[in-house]
Structure 1
Amino acid sequence: MQGDTLQQHARDRVDELPDAELGFPFGPDWEVFKVRGKVFMLITDITGDPIVIVKADPEDSKTLRENHEDITPGYHMNKQHWITLHPGGELQKGLVDDLVTESYLLVVEKLARAKRPVDPEIFGDRRGL
């Protein structure tokens, strides 16, 4: 998936997620997507490449990095809990959708039940993302 396509596809997926909001707390070069005030995705091209950074389960993160050369540790983020998606390679739209959704749900799970915009246990079939 090419850079502009990768980033736009990630943005399009976010548009489908309840209460997801876009902000620019780090300046115009960083698109920061939050749910109820908590970050779940960042988009930037400050590295010279148009990248997408999402939260991931540590075990999943390791497996994804081992199996996809276009997935690396999170740029300027905790390397255990965040991954960076790079353009130009083999990443498929379905995988990007899954990773954005999973990032969103990982953050939602940590919210107090009363603040959750969705129930992460029943928001889609997580195994079939």
Structure 2
Amino acid sequence: MELSALRSMLLAHPGAEETYPFGPEILVLKVAGKMFALVSWQEEPLRLSLKAEPQQALLWRELYPSVQPGYHLNKQHWNTVRLDNSLDAQLISDMIAHSWQQVVAGLPKTKRLALQGAGDRDCRTQ
């Protein structure tokens, strides 16, 4: 997957913003100041870390060899995905949406409602 396509997927979520709090080699996507994705954009292949509900995180790890426990993150809640073309774009998009939803679900109600008004996506967890 190309970095430009990945950035488009990530930034399509309401309130998503790019930051570089850990230096220029790690692109961090946040919503309402909370991380929902980290991209090691200089890695080959790209590596994408995403938040997940713990049972879902384990399931994805069992099903897909390119999904591993989060690198330098809480391994119960984060996965790192090696974007080596073994996963289709729709699955990656679904994982990104799940991560965004996990973060938004933990926000105060006023912030959740503001994000719901900013886009057509359902900000509640599925």
TM-score, reference length from structure 2:
0.85
2:68 aligned residue (60, 72, 83): 72
* SS at structure 1 position matched to 2:30: strand
* Counterpart pick for 2:77 among 75, 81, 106: 81
User: What is the DSSP-based 3-state SS (H/G/I as helix, E as strand, rest coil) of the residue aligned with 1:40?
Assistant: strand
**1:107-126 mapped onto 2 (5 Å cutoff):** 107-116=103-112, 117-118=115-116, 123=122
The answer for unaligned runs of 5 or more in structure 1 is none
Per-residue deviation, 1:15: 2.1
Q: Distance in 2 between matches of 1:124 and 1:112?
A: 12
Identity of aligned residues (%): 32
| Structure 2 segments unaligned to the other structure (5+ residues) | none
Q: Does the aligned pair in 2 maintain the 1:10–1:52 contact within 8 Å?
A: no
| 2:10/2:96 contact within 8 Å kept | yes
1:91 maps to amino acid: L
Question: What SS does the corresponding residue of 1:77 show, helix, strand or coil?
Answer: coil
Distance 2:109 2:124 in 1: 19
Measured on the aligned residues, the alpha-carbon RMSD in Å equals 2.2
Higher relative contact order (CA 8 A, sep 6+): 1
C-alpha distance in structure 1 between counterparts of 2:116 and 2:59, whole Å: 27
TM-score, normalised by the number of residues in structure 1: 0.83
Question: Does 1:29 pair with 2:25?
Answer: yes
Amino acid across the alignment from 2:16:
A
